[in-house]
Structure formats: C-alpha cells, structure tokens
Amino acid sequence: MSNSRVSIHGYWSSRLMFILAAAGSAVGLGNVWKFPYMAGDSGGGAFVLVYLVCIALLGLPVMVSEVLLGRRGRSSPVNTMRALAEEENRSTSWSLVGFMGMLAGFMILSYYSVIAGWTLAYVLEAAQGSFTGLTGEKSGEVFSRLVSNPWRLLFWHTVFIVLTMAVVARGVRKGLENAVRFLMPALFVLILVMVVYALVHGDFLAGLKFLFNPDFSRITPEVALKALGHAFFTLSLGMGAIMMYGSYLPRNASIGSTSVQVALADTGIAILAGLAIFPIVFANNLESGQGPGLIFNTLPLAFGNMPGGMFFGLLFFTLLFFAAWTSAISLIEPAVAWLVERFSISRVSSALACGLVTWTVGLGTVFSFNHWTRIGWLDGTPFEGKSFFDLLDHLAVNIMLPLGGILICLFAGWVMSENSSRDELGMKHPFVYGLWRMLARYVAPAGMILVFLHVLGVF
C-alpha cells in the first residue's frame, strides 16, 4: 500500500543524481565558510573532535531516517509526516515537524543568502585584481569595505535570492539536476589546489595541530552545542531538506550507502577547507578566532601572492557561490513544494512567495554587519552583544535543527513499525539495519538530549 505513493513533483533521473543533489545540498557555505570560523572561534581540535563524533553517531542515523521517511512519504515534509503518521495510526500532529523545518529553512536561507552575496561580491573583487599583492591588513580592508556598506550587501542578497528562486521554480529535473552535475566535482578540485598552496606556502604543521590536537579543556557545553548544531547544518539535517530530496529518490537505490557517501564527501570537504585556511592564518599571524570574516580575510592573501592568483581567486569564489546556490535551493524546496501541494498553485508562484518572504527577513542580516551590530534590548540577557544574524543562526541551527533531528529519529525508530522501515531501507545485512535502528532509537536522541541538558546546566 505504502509503496504506491507517488511524488507530484517528479523524481531524480538516477541514484547518482540523488547523491549529487544531496551532496550539493550538504556541501556549501557550511563547509568552507562556517566550519573554519567556528573551529577557529572554539579553539580548533576540541570542536573538530566533537563535530566528527556528532556526524558519525547522530548525523548519519538522522540522515538515513530522513531519506527513509521522505521516500516513503513522497511529498513535502509536512505532508510526508502526516501521511506516515496516519499509516501507523498515530497523531497527525507529527506534521508539525515539517512546519518547524520550513520555518528553520526560511530563517537559515535569509542569512545564508547574504553570506552567499559576499562570495559574489568577491568574484567581482577578484576580477578587478583587488587581491594582487595583498597584505593581511589590506585584506581586512577589502572585507570591511564590503560589509560596512548595506547597499552592496542588499544588492548581492537580492541577486542571490532571485537566482535561487529561478532554479527552484524550474523544478526537480530541469532546475536542480543541471545545477549540480558539474559544479560539485569542480569545487572539490579547486579546494585541493588551495590545500596544496597552503602546504607549500603556509604553516601547514601549525594548521594540522590546530585542527587535530584537541585541548579537552575547551569542550564546554557551548562548544558541544555548537558542534552538534553544525553537524546538522553541514549535512542539511533536521529541517526536511534531505527528506524532501529523499522523496524524489527512485525506489531501487540503497539509502544506507548513499547516506554514507554524502556524509563522507561533506566531511572531507570541510576538513580540506580547514587545511587550506589555517596554515595561511598562522603563517601570516592572523587571528584564528575572528568570526564570519575568516575565509574572506585569509584566502585572498593566498590568491594575491600565488602565480595565477587572480584566475584562481575568481574561480574559487565562483565555485563557492555555486556550492551555496545548490544548498540554498534545498533550504527552500520543502516550503515551495508544500505550497504547491497545499494550495495547488504553480511552482513559479510558490517560489515567488517564498523568495519575497526570505528576502525581507534577510534585511535583518544585511544590517547586522553595519548599522545594527548588536540588539540593544538583549543587554542583560545571555545573548547580550549579539546581532540579529547571530540570534537567527543560534536559534535555527543550534536549537531547531537538533530538535527536528530528535523528532525525526524518534519517528523513524519508534513510531514507524519495524516492518515499514525494514522494507523501505531494504538493507542486505541484518546487522546494518540493526545498527541503524539502535542508533536512531537510542543513541542519537539520547545524545542530542544530553547536549541540550548540558547547556541548560542540568549537569
């Protein structure tokens, strides 16, 4: 009965396309922009260690659960959760998981787009030769000139939202597949080039030590929560993006091995990005904990001083923009698909509506880097000194994504019958199925709850 559901939005043309699309969603600013600066802010190795543990023990089972639910439900996360809950004779309130995910998607995309706008601005900087012969100080100036000008940020934010919605409006095959086919492999090659540069010209040993030599005293509850949130963010989990992509997955593809491949590709690219950036940071005596500007302040130094740097700089920021683009698409796809299902409107109108809302919320982030760097009324609260961007990021990534992840695991592990999940996963080895089920039922939810309790100071 359950297998007869069909997706009204279409399907991926092959298993490989799903892997590329899911990797396109996972690999993005999270890997190249966010991972390095979070590791830098949180003391390096300690953060990296907790992050890797979170990916393996919590992220992977959630990813398998999301694809599993999506493929069985064959619709937007809201309707997938509702249909599967009905199938198991449970409350349809489970669809709230889908609504929370859509909300998180809007919140994340609203600032993601502003940062993706920075990459576009840097494509232009590179083309104009701004990186040539750059020093650490000058590099900082190029960056602050950009972020202190809300009009420039607004312009690029607008361009990025329009581009994202244009792809989403075209639908699964024409829009999404064409965007990911060539861009992912190209980005990978270019990051390797950067690592080689860092190996030759940077302080590679210092970079390695920073990333892989954990100082255990730095694993505070906040660092653990950030690492947990980031594991979800970087794998696009907890908000329905992967569930949505799973709903377009052909029936014969193996969910377990595809998920492992996507997670490996994603983690590999993040680590490589770290290895490209920190050796340059240390060789040039830059600050490792400088926050969101990190890659924009460091990489141009490398480009400015390497042969052919103008070309590589241009290429790098272009590819980073493409990586952000393929992720942005997946952030909004659940909402766009849901509007189409719920109100029978066209994809174009749906994308237009979603784009307008996201663009408007994004204004808060545009001003977070100039006129509005801190929200006054947060003074005296634990969030004192934070900007709108910080707050949005914290709420969506550190709270909503893990919460969504817990609920998705609980649903796949406890609410869904063993028959249904075993049938849908179709794993050849009973051991692998048993392992997933144990992780989804006990380990992942317990791990996430422990981190939450730890942050709340319960122990």
Looking at 19, 21, 23, 29, which residue binds ligand PHE (CB under 6 A)?
29
Is 31 a binding residue for ligand PHE by CB under 6 A? The answer is yes
State the alpha helices, DSSP H only, in 128-220: 136-147, 150-170, 178-180, 183-201, 204-212
Rounded to the nearest whole angstrom, what is the least distance from the CB of residue 259 to ligand PHE in the complex? 14
Rounded to the nearest whole angstrom, what is the least distance from the CB of residue 248 to ligand PHE in the complex? 15
Is 236 a binding residue for ligand PHE by CB under 6 A? The answer is yes
Is 365 a binding residue for ligand PHE by CB under 6 A? The answer is no
Rounded to the nearest whole angstrom, what is the least distance from the CB of residue 359 to ligand PHE in the complex? 18
Is 234 a binding residue for ligand PHE by CB under 6 A? The answer is yes
Is 337 a binding residue for ligand PHE by CB under 6 A? The answer is no
CB-count exposure of residue 32 (10 Å: 0-12, 13-18, 19+): buried
Rounded to the nearest whole angstrom, what is the least distance from the CB of residue 25 to ligand PHE in the complex? 5
Looking at 20, 81, 262, 331, which residue binds ligand PHE (CB under 6 A)?
331
CB-count exposure of residue 108 (10 Å: 0-12, 13-18, 19+): buried
**Subset of residues 240 to 279 that bind ligand PHE, contact rule: CB under 6 A:** 241
Rounded to the nearest whole angstrom, what is the least distance from the CB of residue 270 to ligand PHE in the complex? 8
Q: Which is nearer to ligand PHE, 23 or 302 (CB)?
A: 23
Looking at 247, 330, 350, 368, which residue binds ligand PHE (CB under 6 A)?
330
Q: Which is nearer to ligand PHE, 105 or 445 (CB)?
A: 105
Q: Which is nearer to ligand PHE, 63 or 126 (CB)?
A: 63
Distance in angstroms (rounded) separating the CA atoms of residues 174 and 168: 9
Two tokens at 108? Answer: 């994340």
Is 139 a binding residue for ligand PHE by CB under 6 A? The answer is no
Position of tokens 């990534």?
Answer: 397
Is 25 a binding residue for ligand PHE by CB under 6 A? The answer is yes
Is 26 a binding residue for ligand PHE by CB under 6 A? The answer is yes
Q: Which is nearer to ligand PHE, 83 or 239 (CB)?
A: 239
- Give the residue from 194, 193, 181, 195 showing the smallest Cα distance to 322: 181
Is 62 a binding residue for ligand PHE by CB under 6 A? The answer is no
How many residues touch ligand PHE (CB under 6 A)?
Answer: 15
Rounded to the nearest whole angstrom, what is the least distance from the CB of residue 242 to ligand PHE in the complex? 8
Report the interhelical angle of 401-410 vs 95-127 (nearest 10°).
140
- Give the residue from 192, 238, 219 showing the smallest Cα distance to 69: 238
Chain centroid to CA 52: 15
User: How far is the CA of 47 from the CAs of 255, 290, 395, 444, in angstroms?
Assistant: 29, 16, 19, 19
Q: Which is nearer to ligand PHE, 313 or 404 (CB)?
A: 404
Is 402 a binding residue for ligand PHE by CB under 6 A? The answer is no
Which range touches ligand PHE (CB under 6 A), out of 126-134, 178-186, 228-236, 343-351? 228-236
User: How far is the CA of 441 from the CAs of 84, 290, 405, 414, 436, in angstroms?
Assistant: 17, 39, 12, 7, 8
Name, in order, each residue with C-beta under 8 angstroms of 428's C-beta and a sequence gap of 6 or more: none
Is 227 a binding residue for ligand PHE by CB under 6 A? The answer is no
Contact 238, 104 (CB under 8 A): yes
Rounded to the nearest whole angstrom, what is the least distance from the CB of residue 252 to ligand PHE in the complex? 25
Looking at 24, 28, 202, 402, which residue binds ligand PHE (CB under 6 A)?
28
Q: What is the DSSP string of 349-369?
A: HHHHHHHHHHHHHHHHHHHHT
Distance in angstroms (rounded) separating the CA atoms of residues 433 and 425: 8
- Nearest-10 Cα torsion for 64, 65, 70, 73: 140
Contact 354, 221 (CB under 8 A): no
Q: Which is nearer to ligand PHE, 236 or 288 (CB)?
A: 236
Is 239 a binding residue for ligand PHE by CB under 6 A? The answer is yes
Q: Which is nearer to ligand PHE, 299 or 310 (CB)?
A: 299
Position of tokens 């999940």?
Answer: 421
Is 300 a binding residue for ligand PHE by CB under 6 A? The answer is no
Is 233 a binding residue for ligand PHE by CB under 6 A? The answer is yes
Distance in angstroms (rounded) separating the CA atoms of residues 57 and 40: 23
Residues that bind ligand PHE (CB under 6 A): 25-26, 28-31, 108, 233-234, 236, 239, 241, 327, 330-331
